[in-house]
Amino acid sequence: MMKKIGYLFLILCFISCESELIETTPINEQQQLQKASTTSTTDKGENVVIRFTDGLSATEKDAIRAEYGVISYEACSCGDKNLESWDLETIHEGATIEERVTSMEQDPEMEGADFEFDIAISSQVPTGVVASQIHNQSVLQKIKTEKASVTIGVLDTGIDPTYFGFEQAFLHNSSFDAETCGNELFGWNFVENNNLPFDDNGHGTIVSYLAYQQLENTGINFEIVPAKAFNAEGKGSLFQVGCGLSYLINKKVNIINMSFGWTETSSTIIENYIKEVERDILMVTSAGNTGLDNDLVAHFPSSYTTANILAVTAVNNEIPPNLESPISNYGFVSVDIGVKGIGLPFYIEPETAPISITGSSYSSAKAAGFSALKYQEGMSMSVFYHKILQDKIQSSGLYQIKYASYLDL
C-alpha cells in the first residue's frame, strides 16, 4: 500500500507541482543577487562561498552578513541551508575582500570560506545524447516504487531518464524520504533551482548509464540520485557543486560519483563535506584528462587525501592496459586505480553504430557502478575499499599510479 501511495504522490506532483523558486534574499533592496556566471573559468572576484556552523539563528546570520559587508546572498535551494554565495562590497569598514575572507577562515561561526570559481566538465561529450523533449510519463516509469539497498549519487549535468539504455526503474523515489525539498521527485537541479534535474549537455546521462550498466541484470536493488550542478555547456560554480554535494550527503547515499575536477585551488568547503562523511560515503572521482602528475599539480576533488576518496584514471584498451598519453593523469599518491576509458563505445540510439567516448569521467562512472556491487550495509569504509580493490589486476604499464593496477570493467 505504501508503495502505491508513494507512486501516486509522484504522479500528482508531476502533474500539478510548480518548480520551487530559488531562495534569494537581497540585503540591500537596491541590489538584487547576481547569480554566478557559468561561462567564465576565472575567479568570481567579489563573490565568496561560505558555510555557517550549525545552530545559528536567522538573526545571527543577518548580523554576520552585515559584519562582512554582504550586498546580497544566495542560499542553496535544496541541500545545506548553511551554505551561501555572497556578493561582497569591495571595501567594507576599510577591509578588502581578501582581508575579510582571511577573517572568515578563522571565524568560529563559519565552517569555511572560499572565493567563488567555475568548474568545467573536461571529458568528451558527443552531440545527440539527450532528448530535445522529455515526456513526464516516460520519466515516471523510471522512478522506483521501492527503497533500494544501495544508492549512487551522481553530481553532474543531470540525467535524461528516457535514454533507451535505461530499461529498468532506477531513479531514487523522493516520496520515501523523511525530508525533501517540497516538490522533489527523484533529484534536484541546482542550475535552475527546481525539481527537474534534466540533462541538457549529455555528460551526466553517459556517466549515469555507465554506472547503471555495471548493475543492470545483477539482481542488486540499486538506485541513482542525480544532482545537476553543471549547465548545458558543462560548466558549474563552486557554490552549485557545494549545494549538490551537500544534497547528496543529506540523502545518505552510499556512493557519490564526481566525474569532474579542477586544479591548483583547493576548496575548504568541499574538502570539509568529504571529510565529514569519511566513514559513511565513498567518493569515486575522476583523476583528469591532461596527462599530468597529480602529485605535482593537485587535481580536486580526486587529490583530497581522505580515506573515502577513490581516484580513477582512464587507461587504454591494450592487453594489459597502459596509461594513454597525453590523456591519463597519474600519481603515486593521488591516483588509486585505472579503468578503461579510452575510445569506449557508446550508443546514442539503438541499432546504430556506436560512437567513441574518452575520459576519466567515464572510467570513474564505471568504477562507481562496480563499487555499488561490492557494497553491503553496515560495512566499514576500509572494508568497502578493500572489497573494491580485491578485484584489481596488476599491470606493469601502470607503475605511475598508487596500486599499479586496473579494474577490468
**Residue 80, pLDDT score:** 97
**Residue 5, pLDDT score:** 44
pLDDT digits (tens, 9 = 90+) for 362-397: 999 999 999 999 999 999 999 999 999 999 999 999
pLDDT at 133 over 70: yes
Q: Quote the cell numbers at residue 343.
A: 575510445
**Residue 182, pLDDT score:** 81
CB neighbour burial string for 177-192, b if at least 16 within 10 angstroms, e if fewer: beeebebbbbbbbbbb
Q: Is the peptide bond before 108 cis (omega within 30 degrees of 0)?
A: no
**Residue 45, pLDDT score:** 58
Which range has the worst mean pLDDT, 84-93, 136-145, 163-172? 136-145
Which range has the worst mean pLDDT, 28-32, 98-102, 123-127? 28-32
**Residue 308, pLDDT score:** 98
pLDDT at 173 over 50: yes
142 Rama class: left (phi>0) / alpha (psi -120 to 50) / beta: alpha
pLDDT average, residue stretch 292-309:
98
pLDDT digits (tens, 9 = 90+) for 227-265: 999 999 999 999 999 999 999 999 999 999 999 999 989
pLDDT at 193 over 60: yes
Calpha distance 286→306 (Å, rounded): 15
Q: How confident is the model at residue 43 (pLDDT cuts 50, 70, 90)?
A: low
pLDDT at 41 over 50: no
Q: How confident is the model at residue 126 (pLDDT cuts 50, 70, 90)?
A: confident
Q: How confident is the model at residue 122 (pLDDT cuts 50, 70, 90)?
A: confident
Q: How confident is the model at residue 39 (pLDDT cuts 50, 70, 90)?
A: very low
Please give the mean pLDDT across all residues of the chain. 89
pTM tops 0.95: no
**Residue 149, pLDDT score:** 97
Sign of CA dihedral 76, 80, 234, 348: negative
**Residue 16, pLDDT score:** 45
Contact 359, 289 (CB under 8 A): yes
**Residue 29, pLDDT score:** 26
Calpha distance 273→290 (Å, rounded): 26
